[in-house]
Amino acid sequence: MTEVKTKYLPVRLLYDTWVTEGHRVPAGTLLDVPLDAAKFLIAKGKAERADPLPGE
């Protein structure tokens, strides 16, 4: 059986975001989130990618 690895991407939150009920993460925070969550947050305008540029 093969193990599925979840890919994580760094994002910078543009707005305060609630990750669980009662746990707010403030805007400007850098987070490593699963790929699906990163795509969702970016599509909703709540976050931006925070990947280093190639060569950094």
Q: What is the pLDDT of residue 12?
A: 96
Q: Which long-range contacts (CB under 8 A, 24 or more apart) does 2-9 make?
A: 6/34, 6/35, 7/34, 7/35, 8/32, 8/33, 8/34, 8/35, 8/38, 9/33, 9/35, 9/38, 9/49, 9/51
- The pLDDT value given to residue 43: 96
Grouped pLDDT means (10 residues each) for the chain, 56 residues: 81 91 93 92 94 73
pLDDT at site 26: 96
Per-residue model confidence (pLDDT) at position 50: 93
H and E: helices and strands count for the chain:
1, 5
CB 33 within 8 A of CB 41: yes
